[in-house]
Chain A
Amino acid sequence: MLRYALRRLLLAVPLLIGITFVSFIVIHLAPGTPGEVQTGDLSIQSDRDVQKLLMELYDLDKPLHVQYAKWLTRLVRFDFGRSFSPDARPVLQKIGERLPITLLLNVVEMLIIIALAVPIGVLSATRQYSMFDKVTTVFVFVGFATPDFWLALLLMILFGVQLGWLPISGLRSLNWEYLSFWRQQGDFASHLVLPIIVATFGGLAGFSRYMRQSMLEVIRQDYVQSARAKGLAERVVIGKHALRNAMLPIVTVLGLSLPGLIGGSVIVESIFAIPGMGQLMVQAVFERDYPVIMGNLVIVATLTLGANLLADVTYGLVDPRIRVGARRGRR
């Protein structure tokens, strides 16, 4: 198992370099340069001088492979470079100040989704075509089809403007510095309620459907029948025997959504004015801020590869058949 994991880890290195190389080429292919973006589209002479200056400053006048080589040699030393945006700050610093809030939002959202989606999926599967199944199906599809920004605005109008129970946007109230510690936490949490509801609502749909589908397949299996025949309580049959197997595909999906945890939701972040990764990335793309885009890509790519590996390893842990298969293969 360990050797398998190590081998996968080593293979990931060339893969990562390949990903960054292709990404590097592709983002440089997009029309527009940082200089053009910074000086406007229709430009007068002085703007073109600035554009030229910026091209030299950022090495953009050099051939692409030279730029890539420079970037890669810096990366090996964990130097992600400085942002092309006029604040010229180190990329890692920019990502570092945006990451915690996005991570927090996404982890909480993910936990809520799992906590809700698993029981919903299991219940609708075991009671297929029951009233509960039908109602949740409708609910879930409504959730899937509702645009984030629209739901967000409705909730803001109701809870923020009409009732005044919750803050509309941002992360902290203006008098935050002057609140006591516990009030600060309460204030912060109240700002997160609406964004989390909106983000959860959409994600819940997909996950509970997966769970339902996976459960439906499992409970038709013979061994579930046998478990029932042994006279086990239905709760044990479903909760212990069926659920564990039904979780397998969910683990894969979960693993793959790990890298998504650091990529914020652009729409939710923009509408709730949350300074997270989504906003940073979108702004970087608009500004053609290549170092920030690449920095973000490297992190996401690394996490994706890591998550894949993790999912494969977890498979082995959850499903003895895979573990046995690997052992047999080694012989």
Chain B
Amino acid sequence: MKLPLAVVPLALAAALALAACGGEADSAVEQGSARPGEKPAYGDTFIESLTGNISGLIPNVLSDSASFEIGSMLYSGLITRDKDLNIIGELAESWTFSQDCLDLTFNLRRNVRWHDGRPFTAADVVFTYETMIHPKTPTAYREDFKAVAEVAAPDPYTLRVRYKQPYAKALQSWGLWMLPRHLLESYVREGRLREAPQNRSNPVGTGAYRFGEWKPGEKVVLVANPDYFEGRPHLGRVVYRIIPSQATIFLELKAKGVDAAGLTALQFKRQTEYPAFRKAYHKYEYPANAYTYLGFNLKDPRFADRRVRQAIAHAINKRELIDGVLLGLGREATGPYKPGTWAHNPDVPTYPYDMAKARALLAAAGWTETNADGVLVRNDQPFTFELLTNQGNDERKKVAEIVQASLKELGIQVDIRVIEWASLLKEYIKKRRFEAIILGWGIGLDPDQYEIWHSSKTGPDELNHISYANPEVDALLEQGRTSCRQAERKKFYDRLQTILAEDQPIVFLYFRDALPVVSSRVRGIVPAPSGIRYNFNEWYVPTHLQRYTAG
């Protein structure tokens, strides 16, 4: 699963969050993994469920998570991520960076063929690059290629990329789905790539699966590519059934109509613990690529005081929050990076639940008196604020209620307002008409979060809507995104996390767990920091357990 998006709002991220980090799926680890000495069998059909219709078959010009998922089966990039989210070669065998991070050279694999039999060469990579920067290609990934000065293919298996300035996401950006020049060139030139027949049927990629059929609104069928350059995948067919209702997916799961689905915490803990279900499915859990936070409008003089924010952080019992809202299926967040990934810094100041400390911090900030209702007062102004969150997300509503109760104990009165998503965004967030919010951020695979924390990104349409401004953070973000060396970047991001933890511009609450279940007849699943899907091509069903023999 490739996720070239740097930063995506949580609304999207919830669906995108597939890559993640090692879990405690104790029994599943051994049950779902390959049996020692067993030879992986070929065949059977794996049935997935999607809640949304896919919008096309050329993911480079699409934007929905379902299309990305299917696109990643059909196409491949030059690089991909391994189980620990490290970058490894896919269509590229190896690569080298020049000392100044400006020149990137890829050596491509030689045995790769497109699904129609034509060889894959560097010319296709150049074409994909040209497609992405073509002014008439409607793609959200152009940003990644704006830093490129020149792309050249000196021979069919070498690709040279020159950057205008060092760009941290240079390597990652080549994980983009590669497109075949011989089929799509004329459509790109005319700016009609979306209208190409390959976007509707018979897409041609280099991926592990070939296109079978797409019945809009009903299903997408993929079949194993016998000529896949890393060897034919074991599961013979993958069928994505499109089922818009989560409730229906859950029932289909119970009736064995689908082989895999993501569960809610309640379903995971309470509704699937009976023996028949445990026998039919293996459950997995690992932190999703998204965290929930309590954000402040830092233009509000009360929240501009760091001690107030720290006091609030001390007053919220994160463990209790996770237990109450997610039935314990989540991990405390200390910063904007997921525990277990290379950018995460475990040694940052934390805010254990401590009411006395919280009171002391508020007192230091001048909040000492209380009125008759027990609410803190300063200069005759009671400490009350409005906490906004979006409608339709029960989880966030519950978080808001727990925060409200915790802060009441501290002498702060919180009024909760739940507002419909579009108007929350347009009327309150973008116009900065809020005091505090409960929202979430989806995080990308690269640690660059310039768009969220940099002080230049506080415009109405930009993402730093809490108006955070810290010169040192600005400098670190700038340095972090212009280096191509992970070790060097880690230093910048470690320091960034320390500052964010001290500053608490937002209270980082938790990373929710992704809770997938997979049919127990499927073997070869090994949970890792990146989740379970990274080795999908090695999943198999032993011959005697295969359910779908036809085809």
A residues lining the B interface (CB < 8 Å): 31-32, 38-50, 53-54, 57, 82, 85-89, 94, 97-98, 149, 153, 156-157, 160-161, 164, 167-171, 174-175, 177-178, 270-276, 279-280, 283
Contacts and interface: CB of A to CB of B under 8 A. Distances in A.
Interface in B52-73: 53, 55-56, 61-63, 67
Given A161-B255, A168-B248, A175-B548, A46 B239 contact: no
Nearest to A98: B217
Nearest to B55: A86
Contact of A44 (B192, B194, B254, B463): B463
Given A39-B63, A53-B135, A169 B248 contact: yes
Contacts of A170: 218-219, 241, 243, 257
A113 to B, nearest CB: 24
A44 B251 contact: no
Contact of A42 (B9, B135, B239, B248): B9
Contact of B248 (A50, A94, A175, A271): A271
Q: Output the residue of B62, B245, B422 with the most chain A CB within 10 A.
A: B245
Interface residues of B, number: 60
A148 to B, nearest CB: 12
A175 B237 CA distance: 12
Contacts of B422: 31-32, 41
A53 B218 contact: no
A57 B248 contact: no
B247 interface: yes
A44 B7 contact: yes
B289 to A, nearest CB: 15
A270 B217 CA distance: 10
A265 to B, nearest CB: 13
B33 to A, nearest CB: 27
List the 7 closest pairs (A to B, CB-CB), nearest first. A275-B217, A46-B143, A88-B194, A273-B243, A178-B550, A86-B55, A270-B244
6 contacts: A86-B67, A87-B200, A88-B56, A161-B251, A275-B218, A280-B217
Contacts of A175: 548, 550
Interface in B494-551: 548, 550-551
Given A50-B140, A283-B53, A157 B251 contact: yes
B350 interface: no
B9 A40 contact: yes
B9 A41 contact: yes
B141 A46 contact: yes
B12 interface: yes
A256 B383 CA distance: 59
A32 B421 CA distance: 13
Contacts of B184: none
Contacts of B243: 169-170, 273
Contact of A87 (B146, B194, B219, B251): B194
B474 interface: no
Contact of B140 (A46, A87, A177): A46
Interface in B188-233: 191-192, 194-195, 199-200, 215-219
Nearest to B429: A42
A97 B255 contact: no
A178 B237 CA distance: 15
Nearest to B49: A273
B194 A45 contact: no
Contacts of A174: 45, 47, 239, 548
B145 to A, nearest CB: 10
A82 B56 CA distance: 14
A254 B6 CA distance: 54
Given A57-B136, A88-B199, A170-B241, 19 more contacts: A41-B9, A41-B11, A46-B143, A47-B140, A49-B142, A57-B191, A86-B55, A86-B56, A156-B248, A157-B251, A160-B251, A168-B255, A168-B257, A170-B219, A177-B550, A271-B245, A271-B247, A279-B244, A280-B217
Contacts of A41: 9, 11, 421-422, 425
Interface in B1-29: 6-9, 11-12
B395 interface: no
